[in-house]
Amino acid sequence: MRKLILILTTVFALTATAQENLYGFTVKDEYGKDVKLEEYRGKVLLIVNTATKCGFTPQYKELQAIYEKYKELGFEILDFPCNQFGAQAPGSIQDIHQFCTENYETTFPLFDKIEVNGDNESPLYTWLKNEQAFKDFGKGIKAKFMAGMLKKKDPGYADKSDIKWNFTKFLIDRHGKAIARFEPTQNMKEVAKAVAAALAE
C-alpha cells in the first residue's frame, strides 16, 4: 500500500510539473467547491500561502491595499491558508475567513487550507516551486533571522525549492506563467511594483 501511495504521489508530481501554465489546475474554494484556475485566464495573479497567527500576518493589510489598487485592471490575489509552518493557521476555514475580514477587511478570494510541502502538497504548489525556486530572503533583520532559523534546522535549506514560511508569494502573468517569487521577508513595495509591471505588459 505504501509503495502504491509513493507511485501515485510521484505521478501527480510529474503531472503537475509538466503543466505549461497555471490553467490546468483545479483547487477548492473556502466552501469546498472545485475552482478551475482557467477561470483566471488573462489576469495577473498573486498566489500566497497565508497564516493568521504569524509575525507576517499584518501583510494582509498590504495585500488588501495592492488588491484594491489594481483589481479593476485585471488583478487577483489567491489566498491559500497553510498550517505547516509553526501551526500558525489553526482553526477552520470559516474561522480564518472571519479573522481576515474582521481584522484586515480582506475581499480577495480565500481558498481551502492546503499543504505546500511534502507528500500531501497541492499539485499547484508542486508546479509553482518547480517554476520559481527559492533564491534568498533578501536583506534586513527579518531576512537574517529567517535564514538563521532555517539553517539551524537544515543546513542545506537554501538549495531546496520548498516553501520556507508563511506569506511566500508567486506572481503569475496574464499567460498563466509564474514569473516571480517573493519570500515573506521581502518588502511589499517590491511586490506592488512587480504587480504593476506585470499588468502593464
Would you state the cell numbers that stand for residue 84, as one nine-digit string? 505547516
Check whether 7 has a pLDDT greater than 50. Answer: no
Distance CA 166, CA 51 (A): 6
Separation CA 8–CA 118 (nearest Å): 14
Judged against a pLDDT cut of 90, whether residue 183 lies above it is answered with yes
- Alpha helical stretches, state H, the chain: 2-18, 59-70, 93-104, 123-131, 141-153, 188-200
Q: In the 3-class helix/strand/coil scheme, how is 65-113 assigned residue by residue?
A: HHHHHHHHHCEEEEEEECCCCCCCCCCCHHHHHHHHHHHHCCCCCEECC
pLDDT mean across residues, the chain: 93
Q: Which residues are catalytic?
A: 54
Judged against a pLDDT cut of 80, whether residue 24 lies above it is answered with: yes
pLDDT of 95 > 60? The answer is: yes
Beta bridge partners of 48: 79, 169
Residues 59 and 90 sit within 8 Å (Cβ to Cβ): no
- For 129, residues 6+ apart whose C-beta sits below 8 A from its C-beta are 161, 162, 163
User: What does the alpha-carbon distance between residue 163 and residue 158 come to, in Å, rounded to a whole number?
Assistant: 10
pLDDT at site 14: 46
63-81: pLDDT as tens digits = 999 999 999 999 999 999 9
Does the pTM of the predicted model rise above 0.95?
no
Residue 5, Cβ neighbours under 10 Å: how many? 10
pLDDT at 18 over 70: no
Q: What is the per-residue pLDDT for 153?
A: 92
Count Cα atoms within 13 angstroms, Cβ side, for 106: 25
2 pLDDT band, cuts 50/70/90, is low
pLDDT per residue over 156-180, tens digit each? 999 999 999 999 999 999 999 999 9
**CATH numbers and ranges of domains, the chain:** 2-200 (3.40.30.10)
At a CB cut-off of 8 Å and minimum separation 6, what does 173 contact?
A: 44, 179, 198, 201
The label of the residue with cell 503531472 reads: 15
